Structures are given as structure tokens and as C-alpha cells.
Amino acid sequence: MTDLLKYTLQVALVSFMLGSLVDVGLKLELKDAWVALHDSRFVIASVLSGFVVGPILAVVIARLLALPTPYELGLLLLGLTPCAPFLPLLSDVAKADAAYTAAFIVIAALGTIILMPIAVPFVAPDLHAGPGVIARPLLLLVLAPFGVGIGVRSLSRRWADRFDPVVRKVVVLNIVVLLATAFLQNWRDMVGAVGTFAIAAQFIYYTGLAACSYALTVGLPHNKRSVVTLGVATRNVGAALAPLSAVPDADPRSSTMCILAACITLLMGFVLAKILNRFAPERRLKIRTG
């Protein structure tokens, strides 16, 4: 039974990572993203918030709460992987700019693939994984499916729009299977996490990310500011799990920390999107004139 759960968890994890990135690529308009990537103020704010503030805040929170090493590693890996695959959905809720959402997804994907292999050996020497070992699953499980989705949309928007709902349903199914299997296999670790501030650390972390990224983007229009805030305050759980999947002796509690993030980042993301929606200029104008 344990072997079956382990195998099911691995299949669900890989399927989730592949499907979620293909789904993002199928919706991504490269032309729109290319225009937004020429906005230097937006790009600088995105990089600073996602790849400087994110990792530093993860280290600070992990140390202040004295998280056990495996949970600390999980939080540090999450700190290196901004932007959940469901960012476009959150952006719609917050009335954010679709083109800038596409641009942030590109920045986050490339930044994660470049930074993670360099940073992980320094922040997690006990993981015993060199840059090559970490880069390999990121290229296979992040860049490749992302590129496939973009390629299909570039060849035929019609087929991309047809495939997207199917891929999205598969991703949702994988999330359910992943969480259920992870709970059955690791329920003791999940229950144990309650008494270690592991769950509280994530809520504090995402709240801190939202506050810091919103502050760093002061001066940007609401629809662009919301993109950065939502992209930074949500995490790509699949990318965070990729290095752990490449190391056979990785502590399962690190994976548990990342899997817990799948639920927490989704919840926090929707709450944040609703809050940002209240600050949308068109909504505030409607309230004043209504």
C-alpha cells in the first residue's frame, strides 16, 4: 500500500507540474508579453520583489520562527519560485492587466530556472544536489511544458483554446489526487507540522510578500501593480518540488511543506485578488457614482 501511494504521488506530482505549465503556455500571448517586457519599471519591480525580497523574507521568517530544518528547506525552495500557474485567473479577479500578467509569468519562469540551480546549493547544502542536478528537472518539468504550451498557441490559437479547458480539468484532477495522496502518505508529517509553526510561517510569508511587493511597486498603475503583487505573493509549488524530486534521500517533510503550499497559496491568492479588486479604479468610480 505504501509503495502504491508513493508511485501515485510521483505520477500526480509530475502530471500536475507538466499540466499546469502547459496550461499557462496555452494562454500566454507572447506579443503582449513582449510589449510589457519593455516596461523597465515593471520588470525591475518584478525581479526585485520575486528574486530578492522573496528569498530574503523566506530566510528571515524561517530563522525567526526557528523552523525545523526540513520545513525551513521547503520554505526556502518556495521562496525561489514566485508565480503560481493560476496567476491569470487571479489577475482577472483583481482587474489586472493581461499583457503584464503574461510578462510576469515569463520573468518568473526564466528567473526560477536561472536562479534556483545557483542558489539552492548555498541555501541548502544538506540537500546534496549540485546545480546540474537541480537544473535538470527544472528544464524538463518547467521550461519544456511551458515551451510546448507557447508553441501550440503560436501555431494555432484555435487549437490552444480547444486544448486549454481539457488541460485545466486534468490539472484540477491532479491537484485533488496529489493532495489526497500526499495526505494519506504524509498525514503524520502534516499533523506534526501544526506544532512547528510550518503552516503559520506560510501564512506570514505570503502576507509579507504581498505587503513588500505592493510597497515596491508604488507609482505603477493599479492594473500593473496588482500583477506583481499577486505574482510574488503566490508560489509555483511544482517548481519548488522539482529539486526534491531529483534527490532520493530528501526529507519528506520538505515535500510536505511544499505540498501544504498548494492549498495555502491558492487560498491566500484569491483573498488577495479580492482585496486588490476593491482598489481597482473602475470599481471605486462605480462606487462613487452609484
Q: How far is CA 92 from CA 5, 88, 132, 280, in A?
A: 36, 6, 37, 11
Q: Which of 116, 61, 71 is nearest to 240 (CA)?
A: 116
- Outline where the chain has alpha helix (H): 2-27, 30-36, 40-48, 54-64, 69-79, 87-94, 98-123, 131-138, 144-155, 157-194, 198-216, 222-233, 237-245, 252-278, 281-289
Residue boundaries of the structural domains of the chain = 2-289
pTM, to two decimals: 0.84
Q: At what angle do helices 40-48 and 222-233 cross, to 10 degrees?
A: 20
Answer whether residue 172 shows pLDDT above 90: no
Per-residue model confidence (pLDDT) at position 3 = 65
Question: Taking a C-beta distance cutoff of 8 angstroms, is the pair 236, 108 a contact?
Answer: yes
Q: Which of 178-182, 217-221, 241-245, 263-267 has the highest mean pLDDT?
A: 217-221
Q: Which of 257, 200, 288, 197 is nearest to 73 (CA)?
A: 257
Across the range 107-127, mean pLDDT stands at 84
For 2-289, CATH number out of 1.20.1530.20, 3.40.50.620, 3.40.50.300, 2.60.15.10 equals 1.20.1530.20
Which class for 170: exposed (0-12), middle (13-18), buried (19 or more C-beta within 10 A)? Answer: middle
Q: Which of 51, 114, 74, 85 is nearest to 240 (CA)?
A: 74
Output Rg (C-alpha) for the chain, integer angstroms: 18
Answer whether residue 163 shows pLDDT above 80: yes
Q: Which of 15-29, 46-60, 121-135 has the highest mean pLDDT?
A: 46-60
Across the range 38-66, mean pLDDT stands at 94
